[in-house]
């Protein structure tokens, strides 16, 4: 557990999978008046999360807030919620049925992720009575504002509280590489460019001081970050369209072109080998989603 700011903590949820360290996290906000947890993480790390909370003396949660229900973010919600019976669980309405009965979500996760899904662990169900959705949550110390950002998934939301903006994967993935920053889109299939782009544009006007990422960490905000992520998204789509039209369809070749031409990826080679392996997996996944989108568009135009 890392104390990032007064009352704000990042909890690492590392997996025994190559490169899955300092990548998945949960956020804890804690004062005498209000305590909430953002994204409890996968089921396989739930006991570790509970241990960290216990060691920190957290014996009460007002809310468990889910940015989305992908199993690396919400798979352990049911396990954590069982230890905090007072906590209300915020989830987008499209995600609620899948938490009540996670069989379909689990089957889909296994199909798409395979052994990685097994490392995350089977999704723990959540009692329907615990789940709710609201556009804003009133608290003794201010509102938690819910922003629908469905680019990464149809059930994705971002959360603003005071000067904090919890982004989940709405603005992709960021990794500190020494004193520098590596960023990439988080666009798994099924990817729809227009929706992802609108979600990023929705975040542009937010002038909070602090950005909290699910993958990974914290940064002070500035007005250029979301514009940078938006420009990167447009660059990837334009470049992939050009490459596909030139007959380049091999995902590994496309990735090499992106690594060469996208300045946001220029620190890729400086990351540890295991982190590069992890990032290669996810970059290829995004290339696959974008390529399918572009191919479908070509067929309908």
Domains along the sequence of the chain with CATH: 2-170+188-222 (3.60.15.10), 231-300 (no CATH)
The confidence score (pLDDT) of residue 300 equals: 63
The confidence score (pLDDT) of residue 212 equals: 96
Full-model pTM: 0.93
What Å distances lie between residue 49 and 23, 92, 107, 223, CA to CA? 15, 23, 25, 33
pLDDT in tens, the chain (301 residues): 999 999 999 999 999 999 999 999 999 999 999 999 999 999 999 999 999 999 999 999 999 999 999 999 999 999 999 999 999 999 999 999 999 999 999 998 898 888 999 999 999 999 999 999 999 999 999 999 999 999 898 899 999 999 999 999 999 999 998 888 999 999 876 899 999 999 999 998 877 889 999 999 999 877 789 999 999 999 999 999 999 999 999 999 999 999 999 999 999 999 999 999 999 999 999 999 999 999 888 766 5
> Under a CB-based contact definition with an 8 Å cutoff, are residues 46 and 40 in contact?
yes
**Alpha-carbon torsion 142, 28, 99, 201, what sign?**
positive
Nearest to 192 by CA among 92, 300, 118, 108: 300
The confidence score (pLDDT) of residue 301 equals: 57
What Å distances lie between residue 124 and 102, 113, 211, 282, CA to CA? 7, 17, 29, 25
């Amino acid at each position: 557990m890392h104390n990032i700011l007064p009352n704000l903590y990042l909890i690492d949820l590392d997996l025994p999978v190559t490169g899955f360290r300092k990548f998945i996290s949960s956020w804890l906000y804690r004062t005498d008046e209000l305590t909430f947890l953002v994204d409890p993480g996968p089921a396989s790390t739930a006991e570790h999360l509970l241990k960290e909370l216990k060691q920190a003396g957290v014996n009460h949660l007002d809310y468990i807030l889910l940015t989305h229900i992908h199993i690396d973010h919400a798979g352990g919600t049911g396990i954590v919620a069982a230890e905090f019976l007072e906590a209300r669980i915020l989830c987008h309405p499209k995600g609620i049925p899948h938490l009540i009965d996670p069989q379909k979500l689990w089957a889909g996760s296994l199909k798409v992720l395979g052994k990685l899904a097994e490392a995350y662990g089977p999704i723990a169900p959540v009692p329907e009575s615990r789940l709710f959705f609201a556009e804003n949550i009133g608290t003794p110390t201010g509102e938690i504002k819910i922003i629908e950002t469905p680019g990464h998934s149809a059930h994705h939301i971002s959360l603003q509280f005071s000067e904090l903006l919890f982004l989940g994967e709405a603005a992709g993935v960021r990794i500190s590489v020494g004193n520098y920053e590596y960023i990439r889109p988080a666009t798994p299939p099924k990817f729809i460019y227009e929706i992802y782009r609108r979600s990023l544009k929705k975040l542009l006007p937010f002038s909070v001081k602090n950005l909290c990422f699910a993958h990974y960490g914290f940064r002070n905000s500035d007005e250029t970050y979301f514009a940078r992520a938006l420009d990167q998204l447009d660059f990837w789509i334009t470049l992939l369209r050009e490459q596909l039209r030139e007959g380049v369809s091999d995902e590994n070749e496309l990735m090499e072109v992106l690594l060469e031409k996208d300045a946001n990826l220029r620190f890729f080679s400086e990351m540890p080998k295991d982190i590069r392996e992890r990032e290669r997996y996810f970059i290829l996944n995004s290339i696959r989603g974008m390529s399918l989108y572009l191919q479908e568009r070509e067929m309908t135009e």
